[in-house]
Amino acid sequence: MPVFHKLRIYHAVLAFLVLAAYFTGDEIEVLHNWLGYGVAAMIVFRIGWGVAGPRQLGISRLFPDIMALAKIRRMNHPMVSRTLLAGIVINLLLVTGTGLLMEPPPIGPFAAEVSIAPVFANDDRDRDRGRDGNENEALEEVHETTANLLVLFVVLHVTYLLAFKRPMAFFMLFLRNGGAAAAPPQKKA
């Protein structure tokens, strides 16, 4: 299977997990947490894939060259897309990181739920209060704000691709099977 077909499968799984986590955030906390752990696992997988995988998947491709960004004069320049991707990556890392700080994954099947957040409490009384106390409020605010920013960047990214890179957008959204116009050509190793 070509690399870009694998990438769109990864993309679809990550998008499903993120959307499901976003929409279960206030309603079903246990499901939201497990979906968040799935997102974290996908991030770790993608980092490993970017480091050990084909050159086209390198992590450096996700971030714009700031000097080139300052010089662009047209909206369909690749640096615009990279800037939107950087916004997605940064917000995804922040929302996942704050989620893991508030609800670390259980280690083993019989592990008690432990929260790192009480470390940020002001006094012993606040530490005893646990997850229901005020110590998580700052993390929760960052978590919710970055989740909303993530959705904004995703909407901008999809809109940009539909406006300027329609074949690629259709390919990534499984609306087109692929081909020369959808995926960039792969170089022979």
- Three-class HEC string of the chain: CCHHHHHHHHHHHHHHHHHHHHHHCCCCHHHHHHHHHHHHHHHHHHHHHHHHCCHHHCHHHHCCCHHHHHHCCCCCCHHHHHHHHHHHHHHHHHHHHHHHHHCCCCCCCCCCCCCCHHHHCCCHHHHHHHHHCHHHHHHHHHHHHHHHHHHHHHHHHHHHHHHHCHHHHHHHCCCCCCCCCCCCCCCCC
CA distance 128 to 118: 8
Q: Is residue 35 domain-resident? A: yes
Residue 178 lies inside a defined structural domain of this protein:
no
CATH at 11: 1.20.950
- Among 9-13, 42-46, 112-116, the least confident range: 112-116
Domain annotation covers residue 141: yes
pTM: 0.72
Cβ-Cβ contacts under 8 Å for 134 (sequence gap 6 or more): 126
**What is the reported pLDDT for 72?**
64
Give yes or no for a contact between 39 and 53, defined as CB atoms under 8 angstroms apart: no
Q: Cα-Cα-Cα-Cα dihedral of 105, 111, 112, 117, to 10°? A: -30
Pairwise pLDDT comparison (108 vs 3), residue with the higher score: 3
For the beta carbon of residue 138, count every other beta carbon within 10 angstroms. Answer: 12
User: Does a structural domain hold residue 71?
Assistant: yes
183 is a domain residue = no
pLDDT digits (tens, 9 = 90+) for 78-90: 778 888 888 999 9
Q: For the chain, how many structural domains are there in total?
A: 1
Q: Which among 24, 37, 21 is positioned nearest to 103, based on CA atoms?
A: 37
Q: Tell whether 93 is covered by a domain.
A: yes
Query: Could you tell me if residue 185 is inside a domain?
Result: no
User: Predicted confidence band at 179 (pLDDT cuts at 50, 70, 90)?
Assistant: low
| 132-162 pLDDT per residue, tens | 455 678 899 999 999 999 999 999 999 998 9
Q: CA nearest 116: which of 41, 93, 107, 42?
A: 107
Domain span including residue 84? 3-172
Residue 180 belongs to some domain of the structure: no
